[in-house]
Structures are given as structure tokens and as C-alpha cells.
Structure 1
Amino acid sequence: MMLAIFDLDDTLTDGDSSSLWLQFMVEHGLAAADMLPREAELMAAYRRGELRMEDYMEFTLQPMQGRSVEDMAEWVERFIADKIAPIVFPAARETLARYKAEGRTLLVISATGEHLVGPIARFLGADDFLAICLETRDGCYTGRTHSVLTYQHGKVLRLQDWLTQHCAALAGSHGYSDSINDVPLLQAVEQAYTVNADPKLAAVAVQHGWTQLNWQR
């Protein structure tokens, strides 16, 4: 099994699905508008590589607490059609298609909740995904997470578990990301690519000789 591993937000898409999802929920009366400034502050910390992902998830999952998984899944499908489909990088589609034609397994690993990453990964034609796991009870979201968060080194830990479960290895693997938070993941793959890298990641990419890509819509 030859792997092509992709971060999702700002790598395959020209925008962050978590932020866009909260905006979407506000637009449709599912979340309070006064959540947006605080979410923007948390995302600024993420881009600096300083975010406690537990804080972000605890805050942004509040509007989903007590809502049914089934109902939320219907909203997510609308969200993908309205907000995600238009912002997928054409080069991302081409790269995914090329790897698919080569017979590679496409794996999306994202520090976003599984309620978004799973459907988006399927929409993009990925074979599998790893994302932040959300706790449910009696078919409803509790507003809490469980298991190792797919964030920073947590992505590598979850990937290692996935490799064990699938009797796979990282030999010949390719990996893509835009964020300084994904340096551990990019160091783990055999060939790393940065996509529209943030300044911190761009500096690391130069040090390691990673290929830097510029994808535009």
C-alpha cells in the first residue's frame, strides 16, 4: 500500500472547514453570532502553532451539543455543497486524481471534527480519513471529544495506529500540508510537500528541502 496523505484545511481547500462550518451554522440559526470573534482568536493561535486544540473543540462544539448525529449529517451535506465544493483547489483535485490513477491510497488527516472531515474526504474521493473523534450518546453529540486528537504530533500517533490496523507502512509515502502544526506529519512521510505554506512552515521546508507548492483558485 502506497500512501498519499493530505491535510484538509488550507491544503486541499482554500479555507478552513471548521471556521466556515461555524459561519454556516450562524447563517442558519444553529449557532450564536457572538461565537465568531472568539473563534477567530482561537484560529489565530492555531496559525501561530500555539492553540490548545482542546480549547478550540470545547468552544466550537457547543452549538452541536444535544443535536442528533442524523440531523447534523444533513446540514453537513448542505454545507459541503454550499461552502466547500467551490473552494477546492483545482490542483488538489488534479493531484488526488493522479495519485488515484497510480493506485495510491488517499488518506486525509485533519485537526477538524470527524463530522466534517469524513463527508468532505468522501466528497474528494479519498479512501479513508483520520479526524478528531466526537463523543455521542443516544444518537446525539455531547459536545465532547474522545481519543487522541489529530493535531500536531497527535496526527502521527493516530497515523501509526492506522498503519498497524491496515498492515501498512510509510515507505514511499507522500504528504501534503500548509501548516506549521503539521511538521511532525511531514517529517514522518518519505516525501513531503508544502502547499501555500505559512511563513514558519516555509522556513522549515527550506531546511529539510521539501517541495513547496503554490496552489490557487
Structure 2
Amino acid sequence: MPDASPLLVVLDADSTLLRNEVIELIAEEAGRGAEVAAATEAAMRGEVDFAESLRSRVSELRGVPVAAFARVVARVEPTPGVRELVAAVHERGGVVAVVSGGFHEVLDEIAPALGIDRWRANRLETADGVLTGRVAGDIVDGAAKAASLREWAEEFGVPAGGTIAIGDGANDLLMLAAAALGLAFNAKPAVRERADLVIAPVDLAQVIPLLP
């Protein structure tokens, strides 16, 4: 087990760690970007069940070649301030983790380059070099996000008061509630209303003054 850490910061990925909604970038490869973007917006506002919505949106990705992920990764933009926030957490001996309703296929490329210590996301099922339109395995939903935060806190020996969660969508609410400090970032109205604090500028360096 790693040495005890005083601090764990867990971020959502799409529209939090990253400026993009990755599923929309993948959908554009299939010519279905507009439809998926509208469905993603509804899910993030909490108007529909996240897991049901994700399955529906992923079905629109059927036939996208696995080779398209290289183009998608090249288009992904880290949110301003993310590198500064990661560095500040690490300077304090802390851990930075990401748990996402998005996809390992992209996070596995992006997270190490940003210095992320742990990450968890959904996986897309493939066959014969293309996406099948289905999610492989259990879906990372709101409950899974909260459970991941608790699991990582236990793994790294982070005390109850040393956890911070940052997210933008309705599927982040359970994770924000599970943390000692839940921050709404670039967030939908329902998240801003229920978070402990709202970070208005889309700049993750704004979180640094809140670190213990």
C-alpha cells in the first residue's frame, strides 16, 4: 500500500479535466455529432438516466473504426490550469485521480501526459477493428464515481477531510457529496446549486487556493 497521503483530488474528465465532450468527438467520426451532443447535454443536466443515455449515445458510434481514436486524441484539449493544479497537489504529497463516464480509449492516452495518478472510465466494445455500438463491462455512472473516490481515499490513506471532488454534470453529484469539498466547475445549474462551492472561471488553477 502506498504511503498515506493527506490529499486526494478527484476530477471528472469531459468538460472538467478536458474542455471537450469526447463522445461528441467520436460521434463526429460517424457523422452523428449533433445528435449525440444534444443527448449528452440532456444527460449532464440530469434530465435522463445516465447509464441509459450512455448506451443510447454509444449505439450511435457503431461502425467507427478504432483507428479514429488517434484523430480524437489529437483534438482533445486539456482544460486551462490542469497542469498547475496537478503540480500543486503533488507538491503537497497528494494524489490526483480522474473518474469518467467517458472512455479509457482516450484517457489512457491523455491521463499519463497530465500527471494523473489514477483513472477509471468506460470501455467501448470493438470487433474486427470497429466499434460495435456497445459499452464493454459495467458502466461508470454517478454511483461508481462516488465509490471510486472512496476506494482511492482508502488506498492512499487519505483522511475524510482530505478529499476534493470536481465535476460539471449531474452524474458527478454523488461524487461531490462523497468528498469533504465538492466543487462545481464549468457546471450545469443543478450541480452549481448543490455543490459546496462554484468555480466560475474555466481554469483549474482556481482550485489551488482551496487545497489544504
Q: Pick the TM interval, shorter chain.
A: 0.7 to 0.9
Please give the alpha-carbon distance, in whole angstroms, between the structure 2 residues aligned to 1:170 and 1:21. Answer: 38
Counterpart secondary structure, 1:90? coil
Q: Pick one of 192, 195, 199 that aligns with 2:185.
A: 195
The CA deviation string for residues 6-50 of structure 1, in whole angstroms up to 9 with x for no partner, is 011111222312212322x2xxxxx2x2x2332133113213212
* Deviating more after overlay: 137-146 vs 92-101: 137-146
- 1:1-217 to structure 2, matched below 5 A, reads 1=5, 2-23=7-28, 25=29, 31=30, 33=31, 35-52=32-49, 53-63=51-61, 65=63, 67=65, 72=66, 75-81=68-74, 83-84=75-76, 87-136=77-126, 141-160=131-150, 166=155, 168=157, 171=160, 172-205=162-195, 210-216=196-202
Counterpart secondary structure, 2:111? helix
**Contact persistence 1:105–1:127 (CA under 8 A):** yes
Query: Structure 2 regions of 5+ residues with no counterpart?
Result: 204-212
Distance 1:147 1:178, change over 3 A: same
AA aligned opposite 2:93: G
Counterpart secondary structure, 1:155? helix
AA aligned opposite 2:139: L
AA aligned opposite 1:94: E
AA aligned opposite 1:14: R
Between Structure 1 and Structure 2, the one with more helix by share is: 1
Please give the alpha-carbon distance, in whole angstroms, between the structure 2 residues aligned to 1:61 and 1:158. Answer: 26
Please give the alpha-carbon distance, in whole angstroms, between the structure 1 residues aligned to 2:151 and 2:134. Answer: 22
**Contact persistence 2:146–2:175 (CA under 8 A):** yes
What TM-score comes out, normalization by structure 1 length? 0.75
Matched residues, number:
196
Cα RMSD (Å):
2.8
Query: How much does 1:129 deviate?
Result: 0.6
What TM-score comes out, normalization by structure 2 length? 0.76
Query: How much does 1:162 deviate?
Result: 5.5
**Contact persistence 2:9–2:95 (CA under 8 A):** yes
Distance 1:146 1:213, change over 3 A: same
**Contact persistence 1:89–1:215 (CA under 8 A):** no
